[in-house]
A and B are shown apart, each in its own frame.
Chain A
């Protein structure tokens, strides 16, 4: 059903989006934790920073990423030299762009679910012998799971659909950074590419729907486990 080129585009898109979600999840958990639980001064600043990609034009975000992490920038050069990590014009760059753009969408539901947790239940766990780390692992995280899943799905969808920041930061290189939206855009630019674009659009819709359904199923299962249903 899919030809080789389409399969490559789909596979690359999934790889980019999943990498973006996987890599930003720990950071999103930390940021959501800080925003939900900490009473320190830095909360407002972090809150603004987290939400910045949501309000900035994606092209601006992409450009800033290029300035910060391009090969010629000090940070980008250091990452390349030390870890062999290159972002600009590389699929990892597309993943990073997706991660940055999806970050606020991932943090928000996690933060809300953390805020909804009755911290007195965590106190109860502590009196039962659970150290703070165990309380997080056995009480807080399981209770925040619906929010974490929602955040991951939103971030995945955002990363999958990322266009502006990706094309600015990672460019539109076939087989490297040409994800579904970039491919669709490219086909539309070419005379007679509408049929190809339509097929990719269909794939795009299917993947998004699949992600939504999957998250709904997981959420239901969590709810049933919780006995709330």
Chain B
């Protein structure tokens, strides 16, 4: 969906981006100052890179060798900025309809209603922009970008300028968008959980103006070196599971490779599939199935690989059915258990360890 290879220079800062994502939702991850917004501005055509090539949804919009440079207003990029950047002189409805003035094919009234419904902004249509809360403004900004009939949607940390409550208000809409909209999305965040929830397939990691990783999010999660000091502790696995139903005590029962899992309740119907982000350091290992233990989740598997990680730690990869689960334990523990590849082993995960973590619904992608 997005393929590019560009070079640019801003002041003394050299930027070189190369990535190729075929997924509908691509996550762009990196610490502040890594050049995430610059990359988006280049994609949108607001910055012209020194050289390179950019292809959006199969259409070449920039190629310095062939002299192609499609200006920003013809790229059909829906850009949602950190701040909503609504037009202060227009009301909400006019903000939403702004892009339609310029779209070759005017979106049908039904589409307008659908977007307004999805974002829950029907009650705001006649309001002035100045009176909107941060969360409302951001939802209107998303609607405005969608209604311009974009070929691709760029979400540049749309939650970053919001406080926790507003964030919780807007996040479900963006989640819904990433599941339901047919438009390819690039979602930018420096928050790992946010990104995994929304872009659970393809992740592009940036650091100091370079792409240091571009590939599956599961592979990305296994690389603490790329996660950065802030998120190194979050290294782990994405475990696929299917929702079986709600269980007592505010839990949801899940099925993972034929084995039960319990997590704090998910608001999704049985049959839905989710990705659970399991931190490697939250996984305990046992030779035999532990009884009389508070942890609710015990997954039986086999040792797939054992890798030394520094002086003290060992990373053990378990095969659970067709999936892999990473566990990070001390070397001392590994020696005490006398782990060897191929042997049966049990992984113990506390339900609450999965509570605050990223989980992503898998829609009909």
Residues 112-132 of A, flagged 1 when their CB comes within 8 A of B and 0 if not, give 000000101101111111111
| A132 contacts across to B, CB distance below 8 A | 73
The residue that B73 contacts in the complex, of A118, A129, A142, A226, with Cβ under 8 A, is A129
The answer to whether residues A128 and B98 also contact, given A226-B130, A227-B130, A227-B131 and a CB cut-off of 8 A, is yes
| B87 contacts across to A, CB distance below 8 A | 121, 124-125, 139
**Does B310 sit at the interface, judged by CB under 8 A?**
no
The answer to whether residues A128 and B88 also contact, given A120-B81, A227-B131, A228-B130 and a CB cut-off of 8 A, is no
B46 near A226 with CB under 8 A, answer: no
B32 to chain A, nearest CB (A): 18
Give Cα A127 to B81, complex, Å. 11
| A143 contacts across to B, CB distance below 8 A | 88-89
| A142 contacts across to B, CB distance below 8 A | 89
Give Cα A172 to B280, complex, Å. 92
**Does A11 sit at the interface, judged by CB under 8 A?**
no
The residue that B78 contacts in the complex, of A118, A127, A138, with Cβ under 8 A, is A127
The answer to whether residues A123 and B46 also contact, given A139-B87, A227-B128, A228-B130 and a CB cut-off of 8 A, is yes
Give Cα A124 to B72, complex, Å. 10
The answer to whether residues A126 and B85 also contact, given A134-B102, A226-B130 and a CB cut-off of 8 A, is no
**Does B142 sit at the interface, judged by CB under 8 A?**
no
| B148 contacts across to A, CB distance below 8 A | 127-129
The residue that A126 contacts in the complex, of B73, B78, B88, with Cβ under 8 A, is B73
**Does B79 sit at the interface, judged by CB under 8 A?**
yes
Chain B interfacial residues counted at CB < 8 A: 32
A interface: dominant SS: helix
The residue that B79 contacts in the complex, of A127, A225, A228, with Cβ under 8 A, is A127
For window 71-126 of A, CB contacts with B under 8 Å fall at 118, 120-121, 123-126
The answer to whether residues A129 and B128 also contact, given A120-B81, A121-B85, A225-B89 and a CB cut-off of 8 A, is no
**Does B145 sit at the interface, judged by CB under 8 A?**
yes
**Does B77 sit at the interface, judged by CB under 8 A?**
yes
B85 near A129 with CB under 8 A, answer: no
Most chain B beta-carbon contacts within 10 A, residue among A128, A130, A225: A128
| B73 contacts across to A, CB distance below 8 A | 126-132, 134-135
Give Cα A202 to B316, complex, Å. 95
| B102 contacts across to A, CB distance below 8 A | 128-131, 134
**Does B99 sit at the interface, judged by CB under 8 A?**
yes
Give Cα A131 to B72, complex, Å. 8
**Does B221 sit at the interface, judged by CB under 8 A?**
no
**Does B129 sit at the interface, judged by CB under 8 A?**
yes
A127 near B72 with CB under 8 A, answer: yes
A183 to chain B, nearest CB (A): 42
Give Cα A119 to B89, complex, Å. 14
A117 to chain B, nearest CB (A): 10
B146 to chain A, nearest CB (A): 11
Query: CB within 8 Å of A: which residues of B?
Result: 44-46, 71-79, 81, 83, 85-89, 91, 98-99, 101-103, 128-131, 144-145, 148
A121-B88, A126-B46, A226-B89 known; 12 new pairs, CB 8 Å cut-off, are: A120-B83, A123-B79, A126-B45, A127-B46, A127-B145, A128-B78, A129-B76, A130-B98, A134-B73, A143-B88, A227-B130, A228-B130
18 A-B contacts, Cβ less than 8 Å apart? A118-B85, A120-B81, A121-B88, A124-B81, A124-B85, A126-B45, A126-B46, A127-B44, A127-B45, A129-B74, A129-B148, A130-B98, A134-B101, A135-B73, A139-B89, A225-B89, A226-B89, A226-B130
